[in-house]
Structure 1
Amino acid sequence: MTRGMPLAVAGIVILCCVGGGLWLRAGSATADGGAATVPVIPKIDVATARTQDMPVYVRGTGTVEPFQQVTVKSLVDGQITATHFEEGQMVKAGDPLFTIDPRPFEHQVELATANRAKDQAQLAAAQAQLARSTSLLQHNFVSQQDFDTQKATVGQLLAVVRADEAGIGSAQLQLDYSTIRAPIAGRVGKRMVDVGNVIHTADDTALVDLSQIQPISVSFTVPQERLPDIQREAEAAVLKVEARAADDEHVLGVGDLKLIGNAIDRSTGTIALKAVFGNADRQLWPGQFVNGRLVLRTHRDAIVVPGTCVRPGPEGPVAYVVDAQNRIRVRPVKLGEKAHDLIAILDGIKPGDRVVLHRQEGLAEGTEVEIRPAAGGS
């Protein structure tokens, strides 16, 4: 009796454990069965179809270049006596930059002028003598030979006077060159010589660099595959180019396409383009790296959605539209042109429609969905 009691208690404990395990398993199965009956509503991101002008453009990277750039040098020898600009100053065409000692050139002008006066006096005397010889020849008081000699002397002196006038012009030109002027409008750079330096044209000494930045140029490259489209649009109208900062968001200027390169770079498969910008606010600066956007055409009032909203269907492209009851409606769409991350919809979607942005897998007609609060691309 005493020895059988522990065995009975042990049996009761074992039965309780087994029963508790079966009860827990049954409860778990019931819970799992209940969860399986609850439908899972997928969460999605949507984009709202909208109407806007959609530019179709070609993007390329490029560099800002001066419209014109000149290295100013002297055309005469001499000592620099004055400078007339500050480094970095904007100057107009014809503004004085340097003055070379003008006195030697002024003396050359005076000498050439004096020589002309002397020869003009001799010419006047010879012309007077020729007039007298003409009258005497009519009365046979002078020989034909003497008359011809006097006539030749007048012609010779006329040539000498013309040579003197050319000499005056040359001397005056040298005097004008002693004031070195800006050949173009632009911004002067660092001064390379100072007052007191003696300049020799044979030394080919650079005095200062001058860059025209209003207007200014941007050279950039685009893939060669876009060349036929660019040429076709350029024949119809002047194409606009946007110069954008490195972030590709901030527009630094809008200019006109002026040049399509005459050869494709075989090493990169690109074609070079060049555009000119007014640069009134000087946002573009020589040597600056920019992103160039060549606008080929603009679709006015186009219905657009992000390109990821369109999926291939069994009979053509489709879009998954969310109706007012947050249910999926699969709509066939007719597509227009694509411009990078946007695509124009010609038929099938109206402005204001909510379209599934991505991850359309598993969605079907009538599927109930939940829209995430922060809808990307809307």
Structure 2
Amino acid sequence: MDTDQSPPSAPNKAGAGRKIFTRLIVTVVVIGGGWAAWHYWGQGHAPQQGRGRFARMGPQAVLDAVAEKGSIAITLNALGTVTPLATVTVKSQISGTVQALKFKEGQMINAGDEIAKIDSRPYEATLQQEQASLAKDTSTLAQAEADLKRYQSLAKQDSIASQTVADQEFLVQQDKATVANDEAQIQATQLNISYTHVTAPLTGLAGLKQVDVGSYVTSSDSSGIVVITQMQPMTVEFSVPEDSVARIVKSIKANGPLHVTLRDRANVHEIATGTLDTYDNQIDTTTGTLKMRADFDNADGVLFPNQFVNVTLLIETVEDLVVVPSQAVQLGTNGNFVYLIGDDGTVKVTPVKTGPSDGDRTAIVSGLQAGQHVVTDGTDQLRDGVKVVVTTAAPANAAHPRAGGKRGGPEAGKPEGGSEGQEHRHKRPDDGSGKPAPDGNRAAPSDQSRGGNP
């Protein structure tokens, strides 16, 4: 009993410490092993299709479209300015006081209509003076001619010096010149009187008046009386890249004037249609563009000078093409491709060569045939060989796009047998569910401003 109550020795204390440390190590190993086993057997045996981010339960829901035969309109978009064929500042050709204005601001005026009346009384008085001078000089001429006849008769009888006859002949010529001058002055004054009636030189829309009744006007006034702008027809000037000039000129020579559509500043509403057959004779070296001018009848008067418009030029229409919705065309590292839906419900990454596009549809030059089905939405987690089911509603995964991600996964970016393609972009349409279609690099095979390569 005395021995059990004695304090332990130093070697016994060291052995007890080693036992505690060993037990701690065993406990940590057991806990770690249990957690690893639970993580492996508890989560690792769920049946999945695919690996990594492609794991999915069952077939993937997608939307599809059928490749069809159709035509693509090759267009070019540009910014234009409405330019009238003629704009005239109507000025007075004489000096005087405005007695009356014969037009209303904003009124359509016909060529020849009187628009203002200038005080003509000073010119009428001048006309009377000149007419009196003409009468006087005409009498003087008649007297000189009578004297000349008398002198010529006396000269035949040698009763007068020949010098006197010669002087009288020169005097008659001088009087004739004086009469002619008087007549010219009368015509000039009569012309000035006609200028007191200011008339419109062309048919057009009158602007705001620049003078009021009682104003004194001269021919040197810069503002004039009113500005008249020809409204029908109207033209629109716009510039196109020099790379597109050859194709446009070729189409004009082959098909005649090209069709042009105008839209408003917001590019929402169509406001006019016309034709293009006029262009400048040299390219602007500072911008690398060529100026063109389209004609519009403007019967409804919706086009106004200096108005900003969006121009769509129809260069040509390419027929008999295989076309698909533009959102069906994907862009991978090796070029453009589509997800082709097979008869067994699996998708196949199919490289394609694209042609022209009108924005909503894209032509497929090779790699696809009319009647084949392609995926248009729900491509976020697709890859070669995945099972899909076609639905009429937007796939669930389409509502959660990956920002800046590439479409179709790593294998879709490198289709087997694919060829290099050009990068194309297009505006993503709404999928009809109120949510935007998935992000990613889709392909719009040809820029509308270039028209593509049919």
TM range (shorter): 0.7 to 0.9
How far 1:183 sits from its partner (Å)? 2.2
2:101 pairs with one of 63, 78, 83:
83
Q: Equivalent residue for 2:293?
A: 274
SS at match of 2:298: coil
Paired with 1:82 and 1:289, the residues of 2 have a C-alpha distance of 36
Q: Equivalent residue for 1:258?
A: 278
Q: Equivalent residue for 2:79?
A: 61
SS at match of 2:393: coil
Pairwise CA RMSD: 4.1
How far 1:279 sits from its partner (Å)? 1.0
Q: Equivalent residue for 1:297?
A: 316
Paired with 2:300 and 2:138, the residues of 1 have a C-alpha distance of 58
Aligned pair in 2 of structure 1 residues 35, 290: CA closer, same or farther (>3 Å)? closer
Conserved in 2, the CA contact under 8 Å of 1:238 and 1:257? Answer: yes
Paired with 1:29 and 1:292, the residues of 2 have a C-alpha distance of 60
Aligned pair in 2 of structure 1 residues 299, 114: CA closer, same or farther (>3 Å)? farther
Conserved in 2, the CA contact under 8 Å of 1:81 and 1:195? Answer: yes
Q: In the alignment, does 2:196 pair up with 1:178?
A: yes
Q: In the alignment, does 2:252 pair up with 1:241?
A: no
How far 1:83 sits from its partner (Å)? 0.9
Aligned positions of 1:133-144 closer than 5 A: 144=162
Aligned pair in 2 of structure 1 residues 151, 248: CA closer, same or farther (>3 Å)? same
Conserved in 1, the CA contact under 8 Å of 2:49 and 2:58? Answer: no
Greater RCO, 1 or 2 (C-alpha within 8 Å, sep 6+): 1
Paired with 1:319 and 1:158, the residues of 2 have a C-alpha distance of 98
Paired with 2:268 and 2:309, the residues of 1 have a C-alpha distance of 11
Q: Equivalent residue for 1:370?
A: 390
Paired with 1:279 and 1:148, the residues of 2 have a C-alpha distance of 72
Q: In the alignment, does 2:132 pair up with 1:114?
A: yes
> What is the one-letter code of the residue matched to 2:278?
K
SS at match of 1:114: helix
TM value normalised by structure 1: 0.74
Q: Equivalent residue for 2:90?
A: 72
Paired with 2:298 and 2:258, the residues of 1 have a C-alpha distance of 17
Moved more, 33-42 or 65-74: 33-42
Identity of aligned residues (%): 32
Paired with 1:25 and 1:366, the residues of 2 have a C-alpha distance of 28
1:196 pairs with one of 193, 204, 214:
214
1:96 pairs with one of 96, 103, 114:
114
Aligned pair in 2 of structure 1 residues 47, 85: CA closer, same or farther (>3 Å)? farther
SS at match of 2:170: helix
How far 1:371 sits from its partner (Å)? 3.8
> What is the one-letter code of the residue matched to 1:167?
Q
Moved more, 303-312 or 237-246: 303-312
Paired with 2:71 and 2:140, the residues of 1 have a C-alpha distance of 82
Aligned positions of 1:341-360 closer than 5 A: 341-345=360-364, 354-357=373-376, 359=379
Deviations, residues 138-165 of structure 1 (Å, cap 9, x unaligned): 6666655444434333333333333223
How far 1:285 sits from its partner (Å)? 1.8
> What is the one-letter code of the residue matched to 1:343?
T
User: How many residues matched?
Assistant: 354
> What is the one-letter code of the residue matched to 2:280?
I
Q: Equivalent residue for 1:207?
A: 225
Conserved in 2, the CA contact under 8 Å of 1:47 and 1:377? Answer: no
Moved more, 192-201 or 142-151: 142-151
How far 1:216 sits from its partner (Å)? 2.2
> What is the one-letter code of the residue matched to 2:183?
E
Moved more, 96-105 or 330-339: 330-339
Structure 2 unmatched ranges of 5 or more: 1-37, 396-428, 432-454
Conserved in 2, the CA contact under 8 Å of 1:320 and 1:360? Answer: no
Paired with 1:199 and 1:76, the residues of 2 have a C-alpha distance of 8
Paired with 2:183 and 2:282, the residues of 1 have a C-alpha distance of 48
TM value normalised by structure 2: 0.63
2:236 pairs with one of 212, 218, 224:
218
1:32 pairs with one of 43, 46, 57:
46
Could you say which structure has the higher strand fraction? 1
Paired with 2:142 and 2:316, the residues of 1 have a C-alpha distance of 75
Aligned pair in 2 of structure 1 residues 103, 360: CA closer, same or farther (>3 Å)? same
